[in-house]
Structure 1
Amino acid sequence: MNANPEIAQAGAAAEAAPRRTASVIFAGSVGNVVEWFDWSVYTTFAIYFGKQFFPAENDTASLLATFAVFAVGFFMRPLGGWVIGGFSDRFGRRAALTLTIMMMAGSSLLISVLPTYATIGVLAPVLMTVLRMVQGLSVGGEYGAATTFLAESAPAKRRGLYGSFLFFSIAAGLLLASGLAVVMTNVMSKEALVAWGWRIPFFIGGCGSLAGFWMRRNVGETHAFEQLRRSGRIERRSLWWTWTQHRTAVLRLVGISVLGAFSFYLFISFMPIYAIRHAGATPADAFLASTLSIAIFMVAQPFFGALSDRFGRRPQLMVFAVAYLVFLYPVVRSIGPSMTSMLLVECFGLLTYGLYSAIAPAIMAELFSTAVRGIGIGAAYNLVVALLGGTTPYLMTWLQSQQREGWFLAYVCAGAAVSLFAYWRMPETVGKPLE
């Protein structure tokens, strides 16, 4: 007996849907894994290659010069968000994703074979700075491109879940970089790491980016952008035009992002150092607690994304802001040297932050129309991160040296109040189709 063709087609579509979901999520997030792996190994291995590119009278001076180049790359992120965001609005999300991952692949591979100061003199730090600037452009562009791709590829009722894999993949990249550092420092001598071992993670990251490019090249364009292209409404939009025509959306994104920018760098970048210097924790325990909390944060992302699809974006965001406003100061100040104390403090910070990070891509995409989504998200978000998140470790370190670290926590609480106001005023957009 012949099967009903309509039933057969429905069955084929049902089987294809999970495969398409997996491929879309993988294509949108795989680049983040390798991008953040490449971005992180610079700081992780800076202690080994710093003096080879930035020779100075002492190790501290070399390390400071190395981190100055990190800062230069960091402040390239807004430019990357602007330029590559505009590129994605004109040529497509897929084109932007392939561009960012190739930029990261090329720069990482070149760093892995870059001659040192002893070989080519002052050209060595100049080239390292230029390559790090390219990485900053890539990371800045990747966030906006991946956010728009995941959000535009998602069904309206599952946008929170799809978008949650952005920070899932960022956390995965951070964990891979940290894990590689643990392995290499245990199997290689310090002399070998200084001489040539530091090149290995950059080479691995570059090859990983090339693999990510190969995986992304066959992914389809988003339906929202294809509709825009077919309608003939694609135009070059300047940053100024975006600001004047979408001022409310830009200001809302800034308000929404303030607390998130503080939280990420406070709990992922600085908290282990704070535990060591303030609470007397051992470095091994502090970094183990940090690694465990990041792993827990990563696993929680899809759950929080799906939760917002069911109950809405605003309730999660307001819980996040209220928790920081009320509990951040006493919780952070209570940190002790024990593993349990550090892990509890880190989990408080990262799991409450996870309520925001899991749904940030969906919220940001819902603020803008398809025509300006790339530049709107990329430029505004990366500017907030550069100004607030990028200065968090420095400000916290300086205030701690003055025994006034409580001032910074009060500063973050003020940021929580700003974001709480933005969350309270924003409309609920869960389940609504993108414009």
Structure 2
Amino acid sequence: MASDSGQLSMSGRPRPGGIDASTRRRVIGASFIGNFVEWFDYAVYGYLAATIATAFFPEADKQTGLLLTFGLFAVSFFVRPLGGFIWGHIGDKVGRKNALSLSILIMSAATFAIALIPGYGTIGIWAPISLLVVRVVQGFSAAGEYAGASAFLVEYAPPNRRGIYAAVVPASTAAGLLLGSLIAALLSITLSPDQMHEWGWRLPFLLAAPMGLIGRYIRVKLEDTPAFLALEKEDDVIKAPVTALFRNHWKSLLLAVGAVLLNAVGFYVILSYMPTYLSEELGFGATESFVATTIALLTYIGFIFLTGLASDRFGRKKVLISASVLFIFLTVPAFMLLDTGNFVVILLVQVLLGAMLTLNDGTLPSFLAELFPTKVRYSGFAVSFNLSNAIFGGTAPFVATLLIATSGSKLAPGFYLMAAAVVSLIAVACAKETSKAPLQSH
């Protein structure tokens, strides 16, 4: 593969952007599978939280066990800002490909290790401590995945299709969640509660190793992006990209953190915490909860790509602002409908909430990548995305459970989502439209 100039098609004519279709397909595949592995793990952990709680916190009551389990989920996010700094530095200084190839290796190894940790009944307090250590390693490695894959795709994409290309990243996220939901549903149907507690919950985590190795193999076969190779050729790569980010692009960084807030809270409340909410707070059966989430995720993937196309046509700001406005006005009514107890109504509400979230989730990767110049793109994306997710995303299931416990209202997660939408609306409204402009290099 050549850079943006000089590559010819078989007919002798230059291909658009100098990048052939097969290369772009491999870039899409490499970006998809790494992010898929990462979010498959997070899905399984969220969907099996109640079972994991009994394995690692058997002496706690049900709600306390859930809080402790989601607390471990949140702690793994606190290391993500540190990971964002380090992976951003690697990605902007050494290259996107090298960062992505290493991050998927660490993530898949850590996820596989969860399956091997003995329960509380075998090693006592060392069981939750071991789980905590592995979750921290996962949080660190995950910090570079979403940002790196998004930057990779945007820098390879044709100028007028950056939105749809970058939408592959949240689509792979939803696909990982979908597989996690399917496996959780299958296990809940086929295994008894005792079997799930003893060994069944471990099975999904074993899949991470082979999937991760496949993803790494695909990634090491690719060249870095034309944008980064151009910086290397001009000897224009920054030695300290994170320092340059805070010194020269702090305004864009603040706007990015605010823009991510709705995505951070909405993603984990709607797509990860929802099965637990339906089963533990509303009394639905675990199987029904997983089935509803699985169907909603199938529609979510389709909506993601429609959103990517819409952001290319109408602009990033219009789509992101639409998402915030819809969440402000419709979230609490949607949560009120969840309490009706009607499965069809609950399914339709989940599809609606998912469709609203895709307006944000499907647009955010291209918006964030375009917000920063090539020299600090990986760092800007990784730091902003991981800061917001560490503070608000990883804590969302914990905060939702805590708000319900303290307020006594099952609508509390809906109000939390509304507040996040207000902050994101203000941030996006203050940002510039980037969809029609060339990628910044400096």
Pairwise same-fold verdict (TM > 0.5): yes
Which residue is 2:198 aligned to? 195
Q: 2:427 aligns with which of 411, 422, 425?
A: 422
- Per the TM alignment, residue 181 of structure 1 is displaced from its structure 2 partner at its CA by 1.9
**Contact 2:49/2:276, CA 8 A, preserved across alignment:** no
**Contact 1:150/1:163, CA 8 A, preserved across alignment:** yes
- Per the TM alignment, residue 170 of structure 1 is displaced from its structure 2 partner at its CA by 0.4
Which residue is 2:5 aligned to? none
Letter of the structure 1 residue corresponding to residue 387 of structure 2: L
In 2, Cα distance between the equivalents of 1:227 and 1:12? Answer: 18
**Contact 2:35/2:169, CA 8 A, preserved across alignment:** yes
Deviates more, 1:368-377 or 1:311-320: 311-320
In 2, Cα distance between the equivalents of 1:413 and 1:57? Answer: 32
Letter of the structure 2 residue corresponding to residue 396 of structure 1: A
Cα deviation, 1:253-283, whole Å, max 9, x if unaligned, reads: 1221122222212222334444456666444
Deviates more, 1:344-353 or 1:121-130: 121-130
Deviates more, 1:185-194 or 1:116-125: 116-125
**Contact 1:39/1:135, CA 8 A, preserved across alignment:** no
**1:434/1:275 CA distance change after superposition, 3 Å:** same
**Contact 1:275/1:337, CA 8 A, preserved across alignment:** no
- Per the TM alignment, residue 223 of structure 1 is displaced from its structure 2 partner at its CA by 0.5
Deviates more, 1:307-316 or 1:125-134: 125-134
In 1, Cα distance between the equivalents of 2:327 and 2:52? Answer: 38
Cα deviation, 1:44-96, whole Å, max 9, x if unaligned, reads: 44555555555636676665544433222122222222211211111111011
Which residue is 2:368 aligned to? 364
Letter of the structure 2 residue corresponding to residue 400 of structure 1: I
Which residue is 1:384 aligned to? 388
**1:12/1:93 CA distance change after superposition, 3 Å:** closer
Equivalent residues in 2 for 1:196-275, closer than 5 Å: 196-237=199-240, 239-275=242-278
**Contact 1:282/1:337, CA 8 A, preserved across alignment:** no
Cα deviation, 1:214-239, whole Å, max 9, x if unaligned, reads: 12110221001111111112233264
Which residue is 2:3 aligned to? none
Equivalent residues in 2 for 1:276-295, closer than 5 Å: 276=279, 281-295=284-298
**1:56/1:398 CA distance change after superposition, 3 Å:** closer
- Per the TM alignment, residue 249 of structure 1 is displaced from its structure 2 partner at its CA by 0.7
Which residue is 2:328 aligned to? 325
**5+ long unaligned stretches in structure 2:** 1-7
**1:271/1:433 CA distance change after superposition, 3 Å:** same
- Per the TM alignment, residue 378 of structure 1 is displaced from its structure 2 partner at its CA by 0.7
- Per the TM alignment, residue 322 of structure 1 is displaced from its structure 2 partner at its CA by 1.6
SS of the equivalent of 2:207 reads: helix
**1:69/1:412 CA distance change after superposition, 3 Å:** closer
In 2, Cα distance between the equivalents of 1:281 and 1:126? Answer: 31
**Contact 1:263/1:353, CA 8 A, preserved across alignment:** yes
Equivalent residues in 2 for 1:14-93, closer than 5 Å: 17-48=20-51, 50=53, 53-54=56-57, 56=59, 64-93=67-96
Equivalent residues in 2 for 1:83-232, closer than 5 Å: 83-116=86-119, 123-232=126-235
**Contact 1:55/1:117, CA 8 A, preserved across alignment:** yes
In 2, Cα distance between the equivalents of 1:48 and 1:324? Answer: 31
- Per the TM alignment, residue 396 of structure 1 is displaced from its structure 2 partner at its CA by 2.6
- Per the TM alignment, residue 245 of structure 1 is displaced from its structure 2 partner at its CA by 1.4
In 1, Cα distance between the equivalents of 2:343 and 2:409? Answer: 25
Q: 1:433 aligns with which of 411, 420, 438?
A: 438
**1:260/1:70 CA distance change after superposition, 3 Å:** closer
Q: 2:312 aligns with which of 309, 314, 325?
A: 309
Q: Percent identity?
A: 34
Cα deviation, 1:102-143, whole Å, max 9, x if unaligned, reads: 001221233333455566565544333222211111112111
Q: 1:412 aligns with which of 413, 417, 437?
A: 417
**1:238/1:154 CA distance change after superposition, 3 Å:** closer
Which residue is 1:403 aligned to? 408
In 2, Cα distance between the equivalents of 1:307 and 1:81? Answer: 29
**1:33/1:158 CA distance change after superposition, 3 Å:** same
In 2, Cα distance between the equivalents of 1:138 and 1:426? Answer: 29
- Per the TM alignment, residue 352 of structure 1 is displaced from its structure 2 partner at its CA by 1.5
**5+ long unaligned stretches in structure 1:** none
